[in-house]
Amino acid sequence: MTTVYVPRDAGALSLGAEAVARAIARGADSRSQALRMVRNGSRGLYFLEPLVEVDSPGGREAYGPVSAADVPGLLDAGLLEDRPAGTGGPAAKHPLALGRTEDLPYLKSQQRLTFARVGITDPTSVEDYVAHGGYRGLERALSLDPAAIVQAVTDSGLRGRGGAAFPTGIKWKTVHDQAADRKYVTCNADEGDSGTFSDRMLMEGDPLVLIEGMTIAAVAVGATQGYIYLRAEYPHAHRTLIEAITAAYGAGYLGSSVRGSGKRFDLEVRLGAGAYICGEETSMLESLEGRRGEVRVRPPLPAVKGLFGRPTIVNNVVSLSTVPVILERGAEFYRDFGMGKSRGTLPIQLGGNLRRGGLVERAFGLTLTELLYDYGGGSASGRPLRAVQVGGPLGAYIPASQFDTPVDYEALSGIGALLGHGGIVAFDDTVDMARMARYAMEFCAIESCGKCTPCRIGSTRGVEIVDRILKGIEPGANIALLEELCETMVQGSLCGLGGMAPFPVQSALKHFPEDFRRARQ
C-alpha cells in the first residue's frame, strides 16, 4: 500500500491542499487503489505547495505544486503504484514530478535541527514522533540533575529566538534558583511580526517537539503547569496543538507523572485576542491572567515574579522547540553550528516579494544576498529588489547596498538593524518608503497598549507628520520634527513597541531620503 503525504499546514491549505487531498482520496477510491494518507506539516518550500509526496524505497518522491485538477493525471501516470526498489516511481516522468524530496536543492543545503521532523511526520502521532527520534531529549533530561539540564542549555549558546536574543539558559537558571510553591513554563506563541511564520509551521508540523521542549523546561526548573499563549489568528495551529497535547497525555508524556518519573506537568493552550503587544513578555503574562495586555515595569523579571506572581519561564516557540535536540545530541553539537556569539541554527523565513518564499534553517552566517537570491530566487515581480525589512514591523529597512550583511545578531546590529524572530520581507523597486514609514507609525498607533505617552501619542503624531511630508508641506522642517519624535519614542518608551517602532522610520529616512522629498497627489 502506498503512503501519500498531503500537508495540513495552513500555508499549504491556503493554496488548495485540502482539495488536493480530497481529490486523491476520491481518485484512489474510484480506481480501487489502496492508500494511506498522512496529513503532514509543510517542508517550507511554499513555492511548491501544495507539495504531495509519495513513499518510495529510495526516499520520498515529491510532486508540486499540485492542484486538485492535476490529480487525475497524476493518478493515471501511476502516482499510487508500487515502486520497485531502486527506481523512480512510475509517475516520475509527470511534469509535476520533482524527484526525491531530499534532493531538492532548496532543502538539501539546509541544516534542519529544530525543524528536523517538520513535513516528515504525522504531526499529532506520538508513535511517529518517537519513531523519528522524538522524546529522546526528555528521556535524557529525566536522567539528569535539574541543574545539569539548565547547564546544557546554557552551554549550547541558545539565545531567545522570539527576537530579544537573551540567553535561554540564564533565564532558566534564574527560575531554577527561585524558591516558590509553584512555577510556570509559558510559551510565547504570539507570532505577530509580519514576515514570520516559523512558530506556526512548527506548531502545525511538529507540535510534539514544542511540548517536549516545555516538558524539559518544567523538569529543569521544577514547574508543574505550562501555558502556550497562541495568537487568535492561528486557528489551524490551535487545532493541531490541542490534538497533540491530548495525544501526549494519552501516551503518558504529560500529566501527574511524566513517563513515570513522579514529576507532574500539565499543559494547556490559551488564545490571545488580536493584540500585537501581547508578544511582549510581560504584556503576555497580563493577558494570560485575563487582563488588558499592558506591559509591566521590570524589575521584577518574570523569571522571579511572573505569571500569578510566581517564577515563570517565558520562551518563544522556536527556542523551546530547540531544547530537545540540545538535550539529545549535547550542548557541543548545537554550539558547533553558527558564528561568533550567534550559535546554532536559525529558521529564517523568506516572505514578501520573492519568487521562492519559504523556510530556510541554516547555521547563522548566511548573507542576505544568499538568502534573497540563492534561496529566494529574487523578486516575484521580476523587478529589482530595493529593500528588505528584517525582524518584523519594528525592524529596520535595509537597502540593496547592504545585502552582503551576514544574518546574525551582531552583524545586523552593526548596521543599525535587528534580527528579531528571523523574518525577512522583500520589496521591489515600486515600494514607496515614505509610505512604509507612515505604516510603521500607524501600526504602532493601532497596537500601542496605551500605557506610556511616547508610544501612545507619539505614534499618532508620527502618522500626521509623515502625512504632511507626503503632501509636500514644509518637508525640511517636518523631516527634522519626525527625526526628533523618533528619538523621543526610542528613549522614552517603556517597551520595545514604542521604543523600536521608529527603527523602520529612521532607516527609511536614512537610506531612502529621496522618497521623503517628493510630494504625492
Partner 1 sequence: MEALTASQRETVRRILTRMRDRPGPLLEILHGIQDHLGFVPGAAVPLIAAELNLSRAEVHGVVTFYHHFRHTPPGRHIVQICRAESCQSMGAEGLAEHAMRRLGVEFQETTADGAFSLHPVYCLGNCACSPAVMIDGELYGRVTPARLDELLAQREPSK
Which range touches partner 1 (CB under 8 A), out of 290-298, 366-374, 413-421, 483-491?
A: 290-298
The CA-atom distances, in angstroms, between 118 and each of 45, 151, 188, 347 are 12, 27, 20, 12
Interacting positions 363-382 with partner 1 (CB under 8 A):
380
Supply the DSSP symbol for 15: T
| Residue from 60, 136, 236, 329 binding partner 1 (CB under 8 A) | 236
Where in 142-181 is the site for partner 1 (CB under 8 A)?
none
Ramachandran angles phi, psi of 390, nearest 5°: -110, 135
129 close to 137: Cβ distance less than 8 angstroms: no
Sheet holding 397-399, edge to edge: 358-363, 345-352, 423-428, 385-390, 397-399
Residue of the chain from 124, 240, 312, 389 that contacts partner 1 (CB under 8 A): 389
Stretch that binds partner 1, among 270-278, 329-337, 367-375, 510-518 (CB under 8 A): 270-278
Question: Residue 152 is placed in which grid cell?
Answer: 546544557
According to CB under 8 A, which one of 350, 368, 417, 494 is a site residue for partner 1? 350
Interacting span for partner 1 (CB under 8 A) from 210-218, 255-263, 362-370, 441-449: 441-449
Closest CA to 362 of 380, 379, 377, 375: 375
| Cell numbers for 388 | 528588505
Does residue number 215 form part of the binding site for partner 1 (CB under 8 A)? no
Q: By CB under 8 A, tell whether 265 contacts partner 1.
A: no
Minimum CB separation of residue 427 from partner 1 in Å reads 5
Q: Is 195 a binder of partner 1 (CB under 8 A)?
A: yes
Instruction: Please name the residue ranges forming H helices in 123-206.
Output: 126-131, 136-142, 146-156, 168-177, 198-205
Is 302 a binding residue for partner 1 by CB under 8 A? The answer is: no
The Cα–Cα gap between 379 and 69 comes to 28
| DSSP letter for each residue of 315-334 | EEHHHHHHHHHHHHH-HHHH
Binding residues for partner 1 restricted to 304-333, rule: CB under 8 A: 308
Q: Which residues contact 334 (CB under 8 A, 6 or more apart)?
A: 113, 156, 157, 158, 322, 325, 326, 343, 344
Sites for partner 1 among residues 37-66 (CB under 8 A): 46-47, 49
For position 425 contacting partner 1 by CB under 8 A, the verdict is yes
In the list 281, 361, 428, 515, the residue contacting partner 1 (rule: CB under 8 A) is 428
Give whichever of 194 and 261 is closer to partner 1, judged by the CB atom.
194
**Cross-strand bridge partners of residue 97:** 63
Should residue 191 be labelled a site residue for partner 1 when binding is judged by CB under 8 A?
A: yes
Alpha helices (H) in 420-501, listed in sequence order = 433-447, 453-470, 475-492, 496-500
Q: Which is nearer to partner 1, 214 or 433 (CB)?
A: 433
Among 64, 272, 378, 420, binds partner 1 (CB under 8 A): 272
Please count the residues of this chain forming the interface with partner 1, following the rule CB under 8 A. Answer: 61
Residue 244, Cβ neighbours under 10 Å: how many? Answer: 26
271 binds partner 1 (CB under 8 A): yes
Choose which of 226, 293, 306, 344 interacts with partner 1 (CB under 8 A): 293
Binding residues for partner 1, rule: CB under 8 A, are 10-11, 13-15, 46-47, 49, 191-197, 199-200, 232-236, 270-276, 287-293, 308, 349-354, 357-359, 380, 389, 393, 423, 425-428, 431, 436, 439, 443, 446-447, 449
